[in-house]
Amino acid sequence: MEINMDYFDRLEADTKALYEIANEARSKGLDVETKSEVPLAKDLAERVEGLVGPEGVAKRIKELEQDITREEVAFEIAAEIASGKFELTKEKANYNEEQRCDQGLRTALAILTEGVVAAPLEGISQVKIKENFDSTKYIAVYFAGPIRSAGGTAAALAVLLGDKIKEAIGIDDFKPIDDEIERYVEEVELYESEVTNLQYSPTPEEVRFAANHIPVEVTGEQTDQVEVSHRDLERVETNNIRGGALLAMVEGVIQKSKKILKISKKLKLDSWGWLSEYSKPKSDDKKSDDDSTDLVTEPKYIQDIIGGRPVLGYPSEKGGFRLRYGRSRNTGLATMGVHPATMALLDFLAVGTQLKIEYPGKGNCVVPVDSIEGPIVKLKNGDVVKIDKIKQAKELKNQVVEILFLGDMLVAFGEFLRNNQPLMPSGWCEEWWLGLLQKSDKFDSTDETLDLHRLEYDYIPATEAFKLSEEYDIPLHPKYTYCYNDATVNDLNSLIDVILENKSKYSPENGLTIDLDYRKRVLEIIGVPHTVKDGKITIDKDHSYALINTLSDNIPVKKHTLEALNEVSPIEIKNKAPAYIGTRVGRPEKSKERLMRPAPHGLFPIGNYGGSRRLVATAAKKGNVKVDLARRKCTQCKISSFQSICPHCGAPTEISPHSVKNINLSAMLKKASDNVKVRKVDEMKGVVGMISESKLPEPLEKGILRSKNEVFTFKDGTIRHDSTDLPLTHFIP
Q: What is the pLDDT of residues 225-246, one digit of tens each?
A: 899 999 999 999 999 999 999 9
577-597 pLDDT, tens digit per residue, is: 999 999 999 877 777 888 888
3-state helix, strand, coil in the chain (%, to 5): 40, 15, 45
Residue bearing the bigger pLDDT, 729 or 118: 729
Question: How far, in Å, CA of 179 to CA of 188, rounded?
Answer: 14
Q: Is residue 307 scored above 60 in pLDDT?
A: yes
Q: Is 631 a residue whose pLDDT tops 70?
A: yes
Residue 283 has pLDDT above 50, yes or no: no
Determine the Cα–Cα distance for residues 117 and 156; give it in Å rounded to an integer.
16
Pairing of β 384-386 and β 376-379: antiparallel
**pLDDT value at 116 more than 60:** yes
HSE (CB half, 13 Å, CA atoms) of 605? 22
Q: Which of 158, 362, 126 is nearest to 253 (CA)?
A: 158
* HEC per residue, 519-562: CHHHHHHHCCCEEEECCEEEECHHHHHHHHHHCCCCCCCCCCHH
Q: Share the mean pLDDT of the chain.
A: 91
Comparing CA positions, the residue from 594, 593, 587, 595 lying closest to residue 350 is: 587
Instruction: Judge contact between 440 and 473, C-beta under 8 A.
Output: yes
What are 633's strand-pairing partners?
A: 640, 654
Predicted confidence (pLDDT) per residue in 161-181, tens digit: 999 999 999 999 999 999 999
pTM across the whole model = 0.72
pLDDT exceeding 90 applies to what percent of the chain? 73
Q: What is the pLDDT of residue 421?
A: 87
Give the residue-averaged pLDDT of 381-391. Answer: 97
